[in-house]
Amino acid sequence: MTMQAAVNPSAGPSAFLFPGDEQFWFETVRMFGADEYGGGSFGEVMAVSTRITAGDYDSWYEAWNAMADRIAAEGDRQLAGNHRISARDSYLRACNYYRSSEFFLHANPRDPRVSRAYERSVACYRAAGALHDPEIKPVEIPYEGTTLPGYFHRAGEGVRPLLIMHSGFDGSAEELHWSGARAAVERGYHVLCFDGPGQYGPLHRHGLVFRHDWENVVTPVVDFALTLPGIDSSRIALRGESLGGYLAPRAAAFEHRIAAVIANDGLYDYGAHHVSRMPDAGREALLTELRAGPVPQVNRAMAAAMEASPVVRWAISHGMWCFGAATPSEYIGKTLDYTLAGGVAGQIRCPTLVCEAEDDLFFKGQPQQLYDHLTCPKTLMTFTNAEGAGAHCEVGAGRLANARMFDWLDETLGI
């Protein structure tokens, strides 16, 4: 069999940096975009990028880790001198730089560089959170005999609406700081960010992998949220990023205490994203095989695709880890359960915002499919290249995207 590489040839000006490597370019734009809420610095991102060789995962790690170590040490000196704001800002950037440094190393999750970068990223974020006013409080959310890590961003005194946020395939609760949490706080929302199974904290700490029935993750999070001070239980919204554009709607289909949901970007069928690259002939028989176990011809095809495409190379390596799969075909088989088909989308009752990026590198066309299958009050919000917001999850255009998403949420919840 043959499979097409998951590459969108029109997905942005990758020739600016890392020509021919869309994955490195996308992750660099992600780092540029973090600048808007303090998670990066344009000059630092440029300086790091000049020291990275396209496609070289070791050089990516070394450059970002070196910058993270330098900025974290600067934060330590600033804090020792009681320069609390300067230290807060340094720790926040160092958190993101450590997170980025280990991003491409997940083909071998036991690599000690992975665990060190994770631990340093979390430590730096907690140091930054303690220097915010009000303090950003780390929380541990009870979940099936263990806990899920997260953060409570308190907007101020009094009863306020709550935004629950989680990321998707590869983000972190710490990264949500600049991906939407602080934008929500600025608008008067309390925010509870968390990592679920398969995501940054639970994956690194306990090896917990993804599950498709995300309502069984969000329901205990809502239970926990209702124990926090100042929560308006009638105005709890849920926002999911990237793969979270499937996970959050899935949860909202069954957890009806959610008053509004934002899918950024919308994702109707994650498995179809992979299946669409399979040949039509014999597809149904192949899907049956994938559900049953490893399929050698798929593994061979994916190995070739990983050689040809930086996007596929990274996505399959990380996907095998976070889905708990031993082979590429086992990973693809597991993704087939991640669908809102079969009437699941129709069970969502609350108003739903589906975001769509014009040049989405990963899930182009999926937001429209989700929107079309919704029967609840719904809005499709498209972000374009002309606005500088056409990349997946509008990375690089956070201020613009958050303004539109939170204007919608304000109006929906009657803020």
Query: In this structure, what DSSP letter does residue 14 have?
Result: G
Question: 210, 211, 290, 266: which is closest to 3 by C-alpha?
Answer: 290
Find out whether 152 and 190 touch, Cβ atoms under 8 Å. yes
The secondary structure of residue 269, as a DSSP letter, is: B
Instruction: Tell which residue, 30, 23, 17, 2, has the closest CA to residue 297.
Output: 2
| C-alpha to C-alpha distances, 283 to 82, 270, 272, 298, 331, nearest whole angstrom | 63, 17, 12, 12, 17
Cβ(242)–Cβ(263) below 8 Å: no
Q: Return the beta strands (E) in 79-158 as ranges.
A: 137-143, 146-153
Q: CA 148 to CA 84: how far, in whole Å?
A: 29
Contact 105, 113 (CB under 8 A): yes
Q: Which single residue is written with the structure tokens 């610095």?
A: 41
E strand spans, 222-313: 231-241, 260-264
> Which are the contacts of 284, defined by CB distance < 8 A and separation ≥ 6?
none
What contacts 150, CB < 8 A, 6 or more positions away? Answer: 138, 139, 140, 141, 173, 192, 193, 194, 195, 221
Q: Beta strand pairing status for 190-194 and 231-241?
A: unpaired
Q: Which residue, 354, 301, 306, 296, is CA-closest to 330? A: 296
Cis bond before residue 134 (omega within 30° of 0)? yes
* Residues designated as active site: 242
Residue type, 251: A
Task: List beta partners, residue 354.
Answer: 263, 380
Contacts of 227 (CB under 8 A, 6+ apart): none
> Which helix (H) or strand (E) element contains residue 166?
strand 160-166
Stated length of the chain: 415
